[in-house]
A and B are shown apart, each in its own frame.
Chain A
Amino acid sequence: AQSVAQPEDQVNVAEGNPLTVKCTYSVSGNPYLFWYVQYPNRGLQFLLKYITGDNLVKGSYGFEAEFNKSQTSFHLKKPSALVSDSALYFCAVRDMNYGGSQGNLIFGKGTKLSVKP
């Protein structure tokens, strides 16, 4: 079965410092990986994805993620955190077990990012 794991329930960072939110995956075959952010009482916003190609993926709001096949990781990073980045971050993998091209997303448990001034 395909899955993603986010080992940290919460990450605390000071504003201006770099941030990393960790994600590891377990899939059969090539992974399709995504990061989403959720603000309180809001929907999930797409940040970035890895399908194929360069291991360093750049996304919205200055976020990037590095795909590491040997470590089966897809960590989310940002060089300089903002207070407004404080939110819940979900890593997700596309479920390809369906066998077709319309795979739903399987989410990690989420990591709460808190950026303090």
Chain B
Amino acid sequence: AAGVIQSPRHLIKEKRETATLKCYPIPRHDTVYWYQQGPGQDPQFLISFYEKMQSDKGSIPDRFSAQQFSDYHSELNMSSLELGDSALYFCASSLERTGYEQYFGPGTRLTVT
């Protein structure tokens, strides 16, 4: 079965640079979520989209933005990167009418040096 695809899997950036993370949800899933997991931490919700419209925002810094495109893939754009942005970034997708469980991608490990 198709899973959530994230790219790149690893990304190394310097402080003050920008980064773009991509997410391809499971086909026909209507909701995409972004989470950030710091070292030894639980995942923290950043932002979500339902049918290509932003539906909720969590602890997402103003330096970050995201969007969902017509083909349902989503991108997380991160600017003015800081050392503290180093984390695993997960994308998850779900089909709301079938039970609410979210399926996670493998994550993008971002290292800011």
Contact = CB atoms under 8 A, between A and B. Distances in A.
A68 interface: no
A94 B100 CA distance: 8
Contacts of B4: 43
Interface stretch (B12-20, B48-56, B64-72, B77-85): B48-56
Given A102-B50, A107-B42, A46 B101 contact: yes
Contact of A106 (B41, B45, B55, B56): B45
A108 B44 CA distance: 10
A8 to B, nearest CB: 14
A51 B58 contact: no
Give the bracket for the number of chain A residues in contact with chain B: 20 to 34
B100 A100 contact: no
A104 B44 CA distance: 9
A106 B105 CA distance: 17
B55 A44 contact: no
Q: How large is the interface on B (under 10, 10 to 19, 20 to 34, 35 or more residues)?
A: 20 to 34
Given A102-B96, A104-B33, A46 B103 contact: yes
Interface string A75-117: 0000000000000001000110010111111111110000000
Which of A42, A44, A51 has its CB near the most chain B CB atoms (within 10 A)? A44
Given A98-B56, A102-B50, A104-B56, A46 B102 contact: yes
Contacts of B56: 98, 100, 102-104
A96 B31 CA distance: 15
Interface in B60-113: 90, 92, 96, 99-107, 109
Interface of B: 4, 31, 33, 35, 41-45, 48, 50, 55-56, 58, 90, 92, 96, 99-107, 109
Given A42-B107, A49-B99, A98-B55, 7 more contacts: A43-B4, A44-B90, A46-B104, A51-B100, A100-B55, A102-B48, A102-B50
